Structure 1
Amino acid sequence: MVTLGSSRRSTLAGLLALLMITACDTGTTQERRVRIATGSPTAVYHAIGTALAGVIERELPGTDAEVLVTAASKENQDMVSRGAAEIGFTQADVLVTGGQPAPSLVALARVYDDLLHLVVRADGPIRDLADLRGRKVSVGARGSGTTVTVDRLLSVADMSTAMYRRQLSLDDSIRALRDREIDAFFFSGGLPVTGIKQLGDDIGIRVVDLSRWAGDLRRDYSDVYVVRDVPTSAYSVPPVATIAVPNLLVAAESMPEDLAYELTRLLMERREVLASAHPAAERLDPRTAISTLPVPLHPGAARYYRSVKP
């Protein structure tokens, strides 16, 4: 039997320790992390983001996915830009500053369109944007995409100082309208917004038509604004039209190409799982997902879309 001398054993032990340290330094023993910046717990972003996190952890070995509750679009964009999140949902208009897209951000997909809701009580007198004059109105949470769109809407409508503004989250806005602490609230989200639907079932609501202002928003701010219908099926209210803006899933341009490819693949190929969390995900489609202006596609995402192109 051959035995090792103490000096040789020490040498081998040292080499083994060195290899373990090197592996740790290169990250081979560490899990890959994907933090998803979403929104409030009752928002569409959070529902789809939570479902996506589950898909990532099941199908990407060695990847830990975490869902972050945020104020939504603006905060999500900021978190991805500074490396506090790997991906985040955001409205396309929030990505435009001074006519230019936000630096260092790229897109994995256009997910769906966010519709701007102006929600009032069905038994109240508000039927038009002009009826908000002198009223108490929530314009969205600080750091949300809702506030960006609403500020622009009120500017083109010459109503920026016409109301008593409050900056409340979706959940707080719903509670405040139910308790008659405010007269109306704005919220931008995909159809249907669960909290708004529940509020309608509880007290009865009206969704105010805002479509007449879309042209002014395109003229003064960005051509990302379009008109979309809110059908009766969304909230059991008469159908109206309103302002809509594309919603994107964004990442830092420094994201590794293979990770961007895999995240985009899961987003598209597990659409049914995401749609079971929220119907807005049913609109995911590679043919429209590539329309991510004002930001470009990540090269890894572009590679995935090329791979499935008919």
Structure 2
Amino acid sequence: MTMNLKTLALSITLGASALALSACGGDKNTNASSADTTTQTAESADKLTTKFVTVGTGGASGPYNIIGTALTDHYAKLFGVNAKTQTTGASVENLNLLAQKKLEMAFVMSDALSDAVNGQNSFNAKVDSVSQVASLYPNYVQIVASGASGIKSIEDLRGKRVAVGAQGSGVEVATRALLEGFGITYNDIKVDYLGYAEAADSLKSGKLDAAFLTSGLPNSSLMELEQGFDLQIVSVPSDKLSEIAKTKTFFIPMDIPAGTYNNDAAVPTAAILNALVVRSDMSDDDVYKLTKAFFENLDSLKNAHQAAADISVENAQNGLVAPLHPGAKRYYDEVAAK
């Protein structure tokens, strides 16, 4: 009886060894091993046709990058693809990279997207290779100044050193458009092309008088800046904005709520909807799956950055600027039919 147990144990050991050898040596192609790992990673999800999902975002501290990083983490786990964010100068650069097929997806502001599909301002020709997946949360134009600058209104910006956003960003597009609505050009101010973090640092060090930071609320760079700094928020009067919006239709009136940056009262300003876009040549099935995964993981994106709290499937087709991708439309039709 003892001998039989030993024999049985030996048989099991040999069998396990043979299985292990077969698994390791049965296929010498390393790509096959990688494919097995991918299958395990995406064991409960459909695969995508594309092997890459590179998402264009913006500055490292901005909501685009924070939300985009959380999103690509989900895409990598769900689909087993090489999903990652690419930090860029934001909207204009993202749209150009999409046109060059260097990105599959991107976060952009609707003002820059409008320019792209119409081939104006920063775009010499129409960008017809971009499709919209969804309208997202609003970006608030946050015009901030140091208390020492004496700036109380947009008209007070004349002659001052002002950060207008990173060059090639939707922030800069919005800044230029808003200033023009007040009869102010870049010739009337001292322009610095700076992103969120750089603008906040320059305000703190006294190198700037004011800055435009157009993003979801709150902006983390401003949250850091307000600690020990006399931060002033400059309003955009709603009556003047209504006049500007007759030609700059992407502007909508919204308030920066009281307490966002220790402000006692709500501050009226302009807002612009953000958009999630993809290359038009991506397959309908892939975009359907990416759209579905985006909304099914929305709670996690909200945890990553509170700006995502203003994203909803119910409002995703409101204020579309570019053509809706058929894959995204398939998802919305499916939701509506439930």
Of the structure 1 ranges 206-215 and 43-52, higher mean CA displacement relative to structure 2 is found in: 206-215
Q: Aligned residue for 1:170?
A: 196
Q: Aligned residue for 1:103?
A: 128
1:134 to 124, 140, 159: 159
Query: Are residues 1:239 and 2:257 paired?
Result: no
Of the structure 1 ranges 92-101 and 128-137, higher mean CA displacement relative to structure 2 is found in: 92-101
In structure 1, give the amino acid aligned to 2:276. L
Q: What is the distance in 2 between the residues matched to 1:208 and 1:189?
A: 15
Q: Aligned residue for 2:176?
A: 151
* TM-score normalised by length of structure 2: 0.79
Q: What is the distance in 2 between the residues matched to 1:173 and 1:251?
A: 30
What number of residue pairs does the alignment pair up? 284
Q: Aligned residue for 2:96?
A: 78
Q: What is the distance in 2 between the residues matched to 1:65 and 1:287?
A: 26
Matches of residues 191-202 of structure 1 in structure 2 within 5 Å? 191-202=217-228
Q: Aligned residue for 1:37?
A: 56
SS of 2:226's equivalent? helix
Larger Rg: 2
Q: What runs of 5+ residues in structure 2 fail to find an aligned partner? A: 1-28, 33-46, 119-125
Q: What is the distance in 2 between the residues matched to 1:71 and 1:270?
A: 26
1:68 Cα deviation after fit? 0.5
Query: Are residues 1:180 and 2:206 paired?
Result: yes
User: What percentage of residue pairs aligned between the two structures are identical?
Assistant: 29
2:296 to 269, 282, 299: 269
Indicate if the aligned counterparts of 1:228 and 1:241 stay in contact, CA closer than 8 A. Answer: yes
Q: What is the distance in 1 between the residues matched to 2:63 and 2:291?
A: 19
Q: What is the distance in 1 between the residues matched to 2:133 and 2:59?
A: 22
Q: Aligned residue for 2:305?
A: 278
Q: What runs of 5+ residues in structure 1 fail to find an aligned partner? A: 1-16, 21-27
Q: CA RMSD in A?
A: 2.2
Shift in CA distance, 145/31, structure 1 to aligned 2, threshold 3 Å: closer
Q: What is the distance in 1 between the residues matched to 2:134 and 2:114?
A: 17
* TM-score normalised by length of structure 1: 0.86
1:123 Cα deviation after fit? 4.5
Of the structure 1 ranges 255-264 and 122-131, higher mean CA displacement relative to structure 2 is found in: 122-131
Q: Aligned residue for 1:10?
A: none
SS of 2:314's equivalent? helix
Indicate if the aligned counterparts of 2:73 and 2:84 stay in contact, CA closer than 8 A. Answer: no
Query: Are residues 1:54 and 2:73 paired?
Result: yes
Q: What is the distance in 1 between the residues matched to 2:314 and 2:95?
A: 24
Matches of residues 195-274 of structure 1 in structure 2 within 5 Å? 195-212=221-238, 213-221=240-248, 223-237=249-263, 238-274=265-301
